[in-house]
């Protein structure tokens, strides 16, 4: 999956795997091992892993469009690639169904893919008019349902907490006022409204609707909940020596990953004991000091990589 914030008109890259060299370096694919790509997207990481070693990959994506497009890659790598439609928070169950009790590595690339951003009919983008949808799986309430039915206070909280938007209350108030006259059905309608709240001014070169669209997308797809479930599942399913590699694109995701990985590198035994209690030792060890970032050359070639951060850890040789 190639994720990241939207860029303005003239953005060139499509479906470019972000931090690909760094992901492979951290994952270190080896022959006869098994890996999970929990966020298949356009298949960039999956293809690179399978090309790097004679290994097997279980690829997961909740988006039926990604699954359909990925069938060509499945054919290219048959029988080493298995592709299934499922939320990545259920990767442990997906692995069990595929016959894998434990795996040698898990890679996650969090957020919206370039395919989704670049297809107006998916409703993720404010750069191109389309239905106000944003559902990765095509199921459940859409962004339009949320915008048209949630109370003003609920909308403000979503936009503030998930978009980190300081003007969330003004935006929510404007939404509620306008939807009385005409319900929101198009991305352009919502983007234009947010632009009015900001009096047509951009912040730091970004469209004012960036944070509001991010918040609605994260809420509609429960992205942070999926990430937390995926991190827990990955820790359980990794073999000793297995590696977890996660690429994030904004601070909310990165904080969750940092907190989860750091917490699993620490002992949970009571302080002062002369020995480590069984099952209370560290579960992971860090492979990256802090978060790795893309090089200036990668950002120049793919502006959507600018906010990417990579964190990686290795399962220690003890039972989960």
- Burial of 200 by CB count in 10 Å (0-12 exposed, 13-18 middle, 19+ buried)? exposed
Local confidence band at 205 (pLDDT 50, 70, 90 cut-offs): low
Q: List residues bridging with 34 in a β-sheet.
A: 56
Residue 296's pLDDT is what? 95
Residue 248's pLDDT is what? 96
Q: What is the distance between the alpha carbons of residues 130 and 122, in angstroms, rounded to a whole number?
A: 7
pLDDT in tens, 118-135: 666 676 777 889 999 999
Phi, psi angle pair for 57, to nearest 5°: -130, 130
Helix, strand or coil, per DSSP, at residue 143: helix
pLDDT in tens, 148-176: 999 999 999 999 999 999 999 999 999 99
Q: Considering only CA atoms, which of 148, 58, 161, 44 is closest in space to residue 105?
A: 58
The segment(s) of the chain belonging to CATH 1.10.150.170 are 138-220
Mean pLDDT (the chain) is 88
**pLDDT > 80? residue 115:** no
Local confidence band at 304 (pLDDT 50, 70, 90 cut-offs): confident
Find all residues with CB under 8 Å of 152, minimum gap 6, and list them: 172, 173, 175, 176
Q: What is the DSSP string of 225-287?
A: HHHHHHHHHHHHHEEEEEEEEEEESSHHHHHHHHHHHHHHTS--SPTT-SSPPTT-S-SEEES
What's the full length of the chain, in residues? 320
**pLDDT > 50? residue 320:** no
CB atoms within 10 A of CB 300: 11
**pLDDT > 70? residue 104:** yes
pLDDT in tens, 48-90: 999 999 999 999 999 999 999 999 999 999 999 999 999 999 9
Residue 199's pLDDT is what? 84
Residue 265's pLDDT is what? 87
The segment(s) of the chain belonging to CATH 3.40.50.150 are 20-115+223-315
CB atoms within 10 A of CB 8: 11
Helix, strand or coil, per DSSP, at residue 15: coil
Query: Both tokens of residue 55?
Result: 């290994």
**pLDDT > 60? residue 309:** yes
Local confidence band at 10 (pLDDT 50, 70, 90 cut-offs): very low
The predicted model scores a pTM of 0.86
Residue 113's pLDDT is what? 65
Local confidence band at 207 (pLDDT 50, 70, 90 cut-offs): confident
Q: What is the bridge-based pairing of β-strands 309-315 and 56-61?
A: unpaired
Residue 211's pLDDT is what? 93
Find all residues with CB under 8 Å of 98, minimum gap 6, and list them: 58, 82, 84
Mean pLDDT, to the nearest integer, of 197-215? 84
Q: Which CATH superfamily is domain 138-220 in?
A: Putative methyltransferase TM0872, insert domain (1.10.150.170)
pLDDT in tens, 288-299: 988 999 999 999
Q: What is the distance between the alpha carbons of residues 220 and 140, in angstroms, rounded to a whole number?
A: 8
Q: What is the distance between the alpha carbons of residues 136 and 131, in angstroms, rounded to a whole number?
A: 13
Region 20-115+223-315: CATH code: 3.40.50.150
**pLDDT > 70? residue 11:** no
Angle between helices 223-237 and 210-220 (to 10 degrees): 60
């Amino acid at each position: 999956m190639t994720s990241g914030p939207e860029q303005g008109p003239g953005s060139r890259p499509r479906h470019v795997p972000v931090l690909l060299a760094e992901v492979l370096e951290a994952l270190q694919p080896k022959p006869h091992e098994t890996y999970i790509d929990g966020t298949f997207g356009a298949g960039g990481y999956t293809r690179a892993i399978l090309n790097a070693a004679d290994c097997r990959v279980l690829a997961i994506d909740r988006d039926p469009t990604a699954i359909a497009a990925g069938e060509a890659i499945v054919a290219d790598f048959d029988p080493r690639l298995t592709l299934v439609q499922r939320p990545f928070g259920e990767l442990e169950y997906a692995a069990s169904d595929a016959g894998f009790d434990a795996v040698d590595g898990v890679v996650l690339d969090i957020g919206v893919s370039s395919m989704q951003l670049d297809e107006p009919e998916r409703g993720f983008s404010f750069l191109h008019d389309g239905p106000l949808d944003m559902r990765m799986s095509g199921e459940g309430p859409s962004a339009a349902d949320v915008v048209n039915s949630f109370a003003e206070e609920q909308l403000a909280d979503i936009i503030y907490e998930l978009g980190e938007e300081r003007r969330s209350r003004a935006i929510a108030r404007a939404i509620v006022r306008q939807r009385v006259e005409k319900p929101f059905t198009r991305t352009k309608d919502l983007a234009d409204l947010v632009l009015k709240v900001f009096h047509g001014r951009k912040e730091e070169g970004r469209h004012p609707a960036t944070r509001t669209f991010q918040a609605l997308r994260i809420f509609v797809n429960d992205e942070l909940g999926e990430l937390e479930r995926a991190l827990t599942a990955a820790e359980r399913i990794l073999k000793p020596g297995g590696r977890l590699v996660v690429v994030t694109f904004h601070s909310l995701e990165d904080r969750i990953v940092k907190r989860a990985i750091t917490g699993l590198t620490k002992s949970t035994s009571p302080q002062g004991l002369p020995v480590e209690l069984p099952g209370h030792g560290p579960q992971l060890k860090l492979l990256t000091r802090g978060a790795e970032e893309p090089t200036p050359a990668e950002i120049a070639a793919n502006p959507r990589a600018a906010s990417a951060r990579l964190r990686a850890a290795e399962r220690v040789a003890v039972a989960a």
